Amino acid sequence: ATESEAGDMDLSGLPETAVDSEDDDDEEDIERASDPLMSRDIVRDCLEKDPIDRTDDDIEQLLEFMHQLPAFANMTMSVRRELCAVMVFAVVERAGTIVLNDGEE
């Protein structure tokens, strides 16, 4: 229907519903990105996924998180991306526990 035809339609019987605007989505993304706890939850969710199930968006989230950590600062972007594709979340109960030996995969 053209704009003039739509103006002539009787819409009085249709229920009113809330409509999401793109602005609301942008605000939610900003809130999520600026909340460190929310960011940590997102990162943990990404890391708890089986690496084979990880999406490009998951890898981007992990790359953003990694960007804040000095331990990864001297790695190239391609190395960081590869690492984000395979790394996993693990809980280590005791400080000083060795989680990976040199040369181990």
In whole angstroms, give the CA distance from residue 42 to residue 30. 14
DSSP state of 49: S
Q: What is the CATH number of the domain that holds 77?
A: 1.10.8.1240
| Residue 54 belongs to some domain of the structure | yes
What are residue 63's phi and psi, to 5 degrees? -60, -40
Query: 3 or 19: whose pLDDT is higher?
Result: 19
Q: Which domain holds residue 32?
A: 24-86
| Residue 6 belongs to some domain of the structure | no
Q: How open is the CA angle 43-46-47, to the nearest 5 degrees?
A: 85
pLDDT in tens, 42-96: 999 999 999 999 999 999 999 999 988 898 999 999 999 999 999 988 888 899 9
| Residue 66 belongs to some domain of the structure | yes
Question: What per-residue confidence (pLDDT) applies to 39?
Answer: 77
Question: What per-residue confidence (pLDDT) applies to 92?
Answer: 87
| Residue 70 belongs to some domain of the structure | yes
Total domain count, the chain: 1
Q: Is the pLDDT of residue 15 over 80?
A: no
Q: Is the pLDDT of residue 21 over 90?
A: no
Question: What per-residue confidence (pLDDT) applies to 57?
Answer: 95
